[in-house]
Structure 1
């Protein structure tokens, strides 16, 4: 179940109410006339099944409401309503499977913002990965993977072409490139400092590392794992169930590969620079491809559901 809070200019309120009142998936509707100050107009509240959210939001957008007012979408985590249950039963599909595209797009724009917080987390995660490699610690590698903030930007690479948001695509690419470049540079500088102090040696970088050697040794499994992890991550982001997202962060070798690039740059170890860079690119490309494919399939499925819903509503109106 979702809740819509709409600030509507007076001249658009009747159309807004008509759209909401004519939707069987809407279980509750309230209008506060004259309650809005900016814009001058009314406040409309509506409860609706998650499955019908896209169709309702598209109709509200077509009316121009998002240009002159605002539409806020909030998940309802717990509710008691017979009308709400009936509304969900009348809506085809499952609420857990329903993708609210406005919510996905909003989250994507937030996740690709290149800011101090993003760069800080990326740098800290890559530094932690560098320490994990030096100490050959799988636990620290996992910690670095979880700390890395890059998955949101990678997921946006899939959202952008599916929804034709090319500004989002360019922003996501810039955020990923700048983030990894800054993090790798910071790790290389920290490694040089450690080298001067004698804390990090060439043997630490090139010696046997049975628990972390996979970081600079990409193979077919690197790509396969990236594809599976990204598909699961995108499903977690678009679904009402978020349980699988944390597993994605400890499945792909992006931040650890960046950390190893920084270490190898400080010591001029060419084969590890190349291997880690290839591992990084392989994982990013696999994740972007899988994210796009998963979202494209979801969009196609829900487009068919929307078409079926439209036919059902037309038949119902004709019967009435």
Structure 2
């Protein structure tokens, strides 16, 4: 699977970013659009890379401080028809199905663990279903409570926090008027 990175970087950083992207194993294509970025003033690079190599490249881009001075946008095209892309995937170590882009995973688990009204509603419904299943000795109601329960997001966020040693989620917030 190919991942596309769109990088907006200041002009003085373009050469280092271009070199970093071009040298990365698993890179299929790199396009440089000089002067196309208005904010920040600079260049836009588009990189097609095998998913299993993307995390390593993103780590190098973090060390070059690209997110602080510009931006990294990651997307997954539905279809890429390219012999270079096929060769890049063959050269990349590992399998794309097993690869994790940690920035993407951290962002998603942070979003899924927000305390919102819908989260609280599903938690109450799941708790009520679980209580009914205990009283009625109903296995199917227990399964229903597990399906409705929204606790996977916070558990995944806890796991990511432990792995990355981040003790505070950057995207977590309490909705206004929720708690005193």
Aligned positions of 1:271-310 closer than 5 A? none
Report the Cα offset of residue 132 of structure 1.
3.4
Structure with the bigger RCO (C-alpha within 8 Å, sep 6+) is 2
Residue 139 (structure 1) aligned with residue 130 (structure 2): no
Residue 67 (structure 1) aligned with residue 60 (structure 2): no
| Cα-to-partner distance string for 1:184-212 (whole Å, 9 max, x where unaligned) | xxxxxxxxxxxxxxxxxxxxxxxxxxxxx
Q: Which has the larger radius of gyration?
A: 1
Residue 38 (structure 1) aligned with residue 67 (structure 2): no
Report the Cα offset of residue 150 of structure 1.
0.7
Q: For residues 117 and 10 of structure 1, do their structure 2 counterparts lie closer, same or farther at Cα, with a shift above 3 Å needed?
A: farther
Residue 121 (structure 1) aligned with residue 125 (structure 2): no
| Cα-to-partner distance string for 1:10-45 (whole Å, 9 max, x where unaligned) | 222222111111123110112222222322222221
* TM-score normalised by structure 1 residue count: 0.50
Match of 1:150 in 2: 151
Residue 13 (structure 1) aligned with residue 14 (structure 2): yes
Q: For residues 88 and 117 of structure 1, do their structure 2 counterparts lie closer, same or farther at Cα, with a shift above 3 Å needed?
A: same
Q: What is the alpha-carbon distance in structure 2 between the residues aligned to residue 133 and residue 39 of structure 1?
A: 59
Q: How many residues are treated as equivalent by the alignment?
A: 173
SS in structure 2 of the partner of residue 166 of structure 1: coil
Q: What is the alpha-carbon distance in structure 2 between the residues aligned to residue 78 and residue 138 of structure 1?
A: 43
Q: For residues 126 and 8 of structure 1, do their structure 2 counterparts lie closer, same or farther at Cα, with a shift above 3 Å needed?
A: same
| Cα-to-partner distance string for 1:50-93 (whole Å, 9 max, x where unaligned) | 11112101110111101111112222343221101100111111
Report the Cα offset of residue 168 of structure 1.
3.0
* TM-score normalised by structure 2 residue count: 0.84
Match of 2:80 in 1: 79
Match of 1:109 in 2: 110
Q: Select the structure that is richer in helix.
A: 1
Q: What is the alpha-carbon distance in structure 2 between the residues aligned to residue 133 and residue 78 of structure 1?
A: 49
SS in structure 2 of the partner of residue 78 of structure 1: coil
Q: What is the alpha-carbon distance in structure 1 between the residues aligned to residue 37 and residue 128 of structure 2?
A: 49
Q: What is the alpha-carbon distance in structure 2 between the residues aligned to residue 145 and residue 77 of structure 1?
A: 32
Deviates more, 1:15-24 or 1:127-136: 127-136
Q: What is the alpha-carbon distance in structure 2 between the residues aligned to residue 38 and residue 113 of structure 1?
A: 30
Aligned positions of 1:1-320 closer than 5 A? 1-168=2-169
Q: What is the alpha-carbon distance in structure 1 between the residues aligned to residue 41 and residue 132 of structure 2?
A: 57
Q: Select the structure that is richer in strand.
A: 2
Report the Cα offset of residue 153 of structure 1.
1.0
Provide structure 1 residue ranges, at least 5 long, that are not aligned to the other structure. 176-181, 183-320
